[in-house]
Chain A
Amino acid sequence: MSARDAILNRLRHRRDGALTAPVSDFAVVTEKQWNETEKLDLFQQKIESVHAEVHRVSKENWLEKLKELLAEKQVKNLLTPMQAQVGVDTRAALKEDDVELLAYDQPIEGWKAELFSNVDASITDVRSAIAETGSLVLWPDLDQPRLMTLVPPIHFAVVDADQLKNTFHEVIVSEGWVSEGMPTNALLISGPSKTADIEQTLAYGVHGPKELVVLVRQ
């Protein structure tokens, strides 16, 4: 008998007989709801508490703020999406600028060393965001691959205020994740990479970005 069959067989023929599934009451999760203002405040408070930097910007002037931040953080090059509107707008706005625009336009194998050593920052959009935990929800894809939000030391994320949901549970259910089918990788990001493995002392940027900058467009 294969290991698989042996294990399943033992589980099926339980000594103490079949088990009954208890009812799961999700009310404690689904009753968590806030209005739009509260959601935004809560999101900002939560994500700032884990060291992210949040800027509330308008839909019209967000690129000005981005330019300002890039200069302030002395970003020399910026990895941008090619198709997502955030990327298109960023590229158009920074064309004349000092910041070199980079594209993730080939498989990682072709430019691993370059990405790991020479990219200062990246910018991406998000799929949604979560107020309760201050989280960004991303489904990395061809245009905004997985390592784009992980390897560069600074990650700029652009969030629209109306993308805010109450809870992770609401995101899964209201966006129909199960019926839509899960992507290769789905991701929640809440703050920059961190560790407390040395005597409970927090340090940022241990493997991923040292800085997470969130631009909330209202």
Chain B
Amino acid sequence: MSHNQVVQEFHPRVHEAITNPQIRANFRKAMDGLMDKRQLAFPSDDELQRTRELAAAIRLRALSKLPELLEKLEANLTANGVKVHWAETGDEACKIILDICNEKNAKSVIKGKSMVSEEMELNHYLEEHGIEALESDLGEYIVQLAEETPSHIIMPAIHKNTDQISDLMHEKTGTNKSRDVEYLTAEARQQLRERFEKADVGVSGVNFAVAETGTLCLVENEGNGRLTTTVPPVHIAVTGIEKVVENLEDVAPLLSLLTRSATGQHITTYFNMISSPRKEGELDGPEEVHLVLVDSGRSNIYQDDELLDTLRCIRCGACMNHCPVYTRIGGHAYGYTYPGPIGKILMPHLAGLDDAKDLPSASSLCGACGEVCPVKIPIPKLLVRLREESVAGDHNHDNSVVKGRGAKRKGMEPLIWKGWAKMHKHGGLYRTGTGLATVFRGLVPSNLGAWTNCRTAPKLAKTTLHQQMKARSQNNAASQKKDGGDQ
């Protein structure tokens, strides 16, 4: 799978972002606001912690029965008249959606927000095959006009300020230049309404798929999700296989945590639960509803007890809102669909560690992400695990399910560590080694790779600690009355 943003290495991208004052300012302002709003949405810490416990248990329960629940979901949706498709990869999912479009002779697709469709680059795929795909979420629409990708999973255009959006809309759609957000929003509404009327197919994501009833749940504020899933004659929902929950009642606490964690809203404007296509006699709604279940590496993550926690994610984005790294470099610098902490633990599986090897290290391990995660994913622990995986070799994580394990392992490093281990096991070798190191200490290079990019190389002492201790005990013995001074 290609990632259209990976045109340059991670570190130059970060450097570029960090030295861009506009990006710094836009993200700082937005993340500060989001952190404040989240805090206000949880006035009781007791309620927050108990709801997190419940939500984590609900997600884990769903994962513990994942194959059965997927089958149940499929059976119930099929009974309700929804067609269910399965895709091993993003490309397969794109192909399934294209085939449905072709069968319907569809030329234009209108989209509600879906990160899975971003992940599989559905828009590019459809356009390559002559079908126009238009984003209808305002943020996604802006990002699409700019020919960019989302920089945040909840607020796709968060990297742009009002002036930038005004200029963009002026240039691409002919609106007046204006700082009036009401005006810009009203213009976008008008432009998109015309498209909704004409669209042949609506494509949406799914927030929760309820196995018990065969229900697809969508969380949104704008109403574009409802339009996408109601106006066109065909609705195609696309989702990762991990989004299933067991019971309908499970969605209540998950929804409550999702919206409060994401943007500090007690609930979003719309919570849309779809269980079937238009029934006979009903006056609106699509005649056909499809669900495409995408694996794309998720069943691999599923194999491992520790990595499994990654799949609990409900995509609220709180981890990125609270991440000091994300706040400073923004979403695009990561170079992948999912930025921030969740991206750092998810993308290495989706894209492979050989491709995403720098992501697990792009963290100070401050732990904020794990503390705010509504489903208690131990993100810092998983970052450390993936760092281990990225340099793994020998018998470390032998039976690993991580694609590209050992991608960062360098030829010399294991040799050096082997030597290090051997030296520490043998006293004579150790004394000779450290003795030689002090004698030749002048030969230590001043450039020691990345470490010395922003640090001075350490200098070895003239004598080893052993030598110093020996000298000290001899001094003490020579003059018992005298206190031994530190040297």
Contacts and interface: CB of A to CB of B under 8 A. Distances in A.
Residue of B156, B196, B221 contacting most chain A CB atoms (<10 Å) = B221
Interface in B259-313: 263, 265-279, 281-285, 293, 295, 299-300, 302-305, 308
Contacts, number: 262
B70 A194 contact: no
Nearest to B157: A197
B74 to A, nearest CB: 8
Interface string A195-218: 111111101011111000000000
Contacts of B300: 10
A92 interface: no
B231 A147 contact: yes
Residue of B29, B162, B185 contacting most chain A CB atoms (<10 Å) = B185
B471 interface: no
Contact of B253 (A8, A169, A177, A182): A169
B125 to A, nearest CB: 17
A156 interface: no
B250 A24 contact: yes
Contacts of A197: 137-139, 142, 155-157
Interface string B55-82: 0011011011111001100000000100
Interface stretch (B46-54, B424-432, B445-453): B46-54
Contact of A146 (B80, B224, B226, B253): B226
Nearest to A50: B269
A44 interface: no
Interface in A44-70: 46, 49-50
Nearest to A29: B253
A154 to B, nearest CB: 14
Given A3-B92, A195-B185, A207-B189, A15 B273 contact: no
Contact of A10 (B26, B157, B273, B303): B303
A183 B92 CA distance: 31
Given A8-B67, A106-B283, A208 B269 contact: yes
B224 A142 contact: no
Nearest to A132: B266
Contact of A184 (B58, B138, B276): B276
A87 interface: no
A20 B223 contact: no
B399 interface: yes
Nearest to A205: B189
B269 A7 contact: no
A142 B249 contact: no
B165 to A, nearest CB: 5
B443 interface: no
Given A7-B88, A206-B138, A184 B282 contact: yes
Contact of A206 (B71, B224, B252, B275): B224
* Chain B interface category by residue count: 35 or more
Contacts of B379: none
Interface string A93-120: 0000000000011111000110010000
Nearest to A182: B275
A23 B303 CA distance: 22
A26 B139 contact: no
Nearest to B70: A8
Contacts of B267: 133-135, 188, 190
Interface string A161-183: 00000011100110001100111
Nearest to B283: A145
B23 interface: no
B271 A187 contact: yes
B86 A2 contact: yes
Contact of B275 (A134, A184, A200): A184
Nearest to A187: B272
B16 interface: no
A192 B61 contact: no
27 contacts: A3-B88, A3-B295, A7-B241, A8-B70, A20-B64, A21-B61, A21-B64, A24-B57, A25-B57, A26-B54, A50-B269, A104-B283, A116-B193, A145-B283, A147-B284, A168-B255, A182-B80, A182-B213, A185-B285, A186-B275, A188-B270, A191-B269, A192-B269, A194-B222, A203-B186, A207-B222, A209-B223
Interface of B: 26, 29-30, 33, 47, 50-51, 53-54, 57-58, 60-61, 63-67, 70-71, 80, 86-88, 92, 136-139, 142, 155-158, 160-162, 165, 181-182, 184-186, 188-189, 192-193, 196-197, 212-215, 221-224, 226-227, 230-231, 241, 247-250, 252-253, 255-256, 263, 265-279, 281-285, 293, 295, 299-300, 302-305, 308, 399, 401
Interface of A: 2-4, 6-8, 10-12, 14-16, 18-29, 46, 49-50, 104-108, 112-113, 116, 132-135, 141-142, 145-147, 150, 167-169, 172-173, 177-178, 181-201, 203, 205-209
